[in-house]
Structure 1
Amino acid sequence: MLNKKDAAPPSLLNKLVSLTTIRDVELFEFSLLKTLAELLSIHQISMYKLDQFNTTCWLSTYSANLIQDDDKRQFSESQEIYTSEIMIPEEIKSAQLWIETTKKPYIHYQEDRYLVVYPILSLNKVEGMLTFELSHSLTEGEMLIISSLLSITHNFCSLLDESQKDKLTGLLNRQTFEANIKKINALTLSSDINQDHDGSELNRRRLKVETGKFCLAIIDIDDFKSINDQFGHIMGDEVLLLLSYVMKQNFRARDLLFRFGGEEFVVIFRVSDKEEAYKVLERFRNKIQEYRFPQIDSVTISMGATLINELNYLASEIIGRADQALYHAKQNGKNQLHFYESLLENGFILEKKETSALNFF
Structure 2
Amino acid sequence: MINKKDAGPPSLLNRLVSLTTIRDVELFETSLLKTLAELLKINQIAMYRLSQTSMMCWLSTHSTNLIQDDNKRQFSESQEIYTSEIVIPEEIKSAQLWVETTKKPYIQLQGNQYLVVYPIFAANKIESLLSFELSHSLTEGEMLIITSLLSITYNFRSLLDESQKDKLTGLLNRQTFEANINKISSLTLNSDISQQPNGNEQDRRRTKTGTEEFCLAIIDIDDFKSINDRFGHIMGDEVLLLLSYVMKQNFRAKDLLFRFGGEEFVVIFHVPDQAEAAKALERFREKIEAYRFPQINTVTISVGATLISETHHLASEIIGRADQALYHAKNNGKNQLHFYESLLESGHIVEKKETGTIDFF
Query: TM-score scaled by structure 2?
Result: 0.90
The DSSP-based 3-state class of the residue aligned with 2:257 is strand
Q: 1:259 to 1:12 in 2, by over 3 A?
A: same
Q: 1:355 to 1:170 in 2, by over 3 A?
A: farther
- The residue that corresponds to 1:316 in the other structure is 316
Q: Deviation at 1:209?
A: 3.0
**Correspondence 1:1-361 to 2 at 5 A:** 11-190=11-190, 207-211=206-210, 212-352=212-352
The DSSP-based 3-state class of the residue aligned with 1:181 is helix
Q: Deviation at 1:153?
A: 2.2
Q: 1:133 to 1:157 in 2, by over 3 A?
A: same
Instruction: Provide the rounded CA distance (Å) in 2 between the counterparts of 1:352 and 1:324.
Output: 14
The DSSP-based 3-state class of the residue aligned with 1:80 is coil
Q: Deviation at 1:185?
A: 1.2
Contact 1:218 1:264 survives alignment (8 Å): yes
Instruction: Say how many residue pairs are matched.
Output: 345
Q: Deviation at 1:208?
A: 4.5
The DSSP-based 3-state class of the residue aligned with 2:349 is coil
User: What residue identity is the alignment partner of 1:260?
Assistant: F
Q: 1:352 to 1:220 in 2, by over 3 A?
A: farther
Instruction: Provide the rounded CA distance (Å) in 1 between the counterparts of 2:356 and 2:147.
Output: 50
Contact 1:44 1:62 survives alignment (8 Å): yes
User: What residue identity is the alignment partner of 2:208?
Assistant: V
Q: Deviation at 1:74?
A: 1.4
- Note the alpha carbon deviations across 1:206-241, whole angstroms, 9 max, x for none: 544343001110000001000000100000000000
Instruction: Provide the rounded CA distance (Å) in 1 between the counterparts of 2:217 and 2:126.
Output: 31
Contact 2:55 2:88 survives alignment (8 Å): yes
- The residue that corresponds to 1:201 in the other structure is none
Q: Deviation at 1:71?
A: 4.0
User: What residue identity is the alignment partner of 2:122?
Assistant: S
Instruction: Provide the rounded CA distance (Å) in 1 between the counterparts of 2:174 and 2:276.
Output: 26
Identity of aligned residues (%): 79
Contact 2:16 2:153 survives alignment (8 Å): no
Instruction: Provide the rounded CA distance (Å) in 2 between the counterparts of 1:115 and 1:74.
Output: 22
Query: TM-score scaled by structure 1?
Result: 0.90
Contact 1:44 1:132 survives alignment (8 Å): yes
The DSSP-based 3-state class of the residue aligned with 2:312 is coil
Contact 2:215 2:270 survives alignment (8 Å): yes
Note the residue ranges of structure 1 that are not aligned, 5 or more in a row: 194-203
Contact 1:81 1:208 survives alignment (8 Å): no
User: What residue identity is the alignment partner of 1:136?
Assistant: H
Q: CA RMSD in A?
A: 2.4
Contact 1:317 1:355 survives alignment (8 Å): no
User: What residue identity is the alignment partner of 1:117?
Assistant: V
Q: 1:332 to 1:292 in 2, by over 3 A?
A: same
Instruction: Provide the rounded CA distance (Å) in 1 between the counterparts of 2:60 and 2:191.
Output: 15
The DSSP-based 3-state class of the residue aligned with 2:21 is coil
The DSSP-based 3-state class of the residue aligned with 2:107 is strand
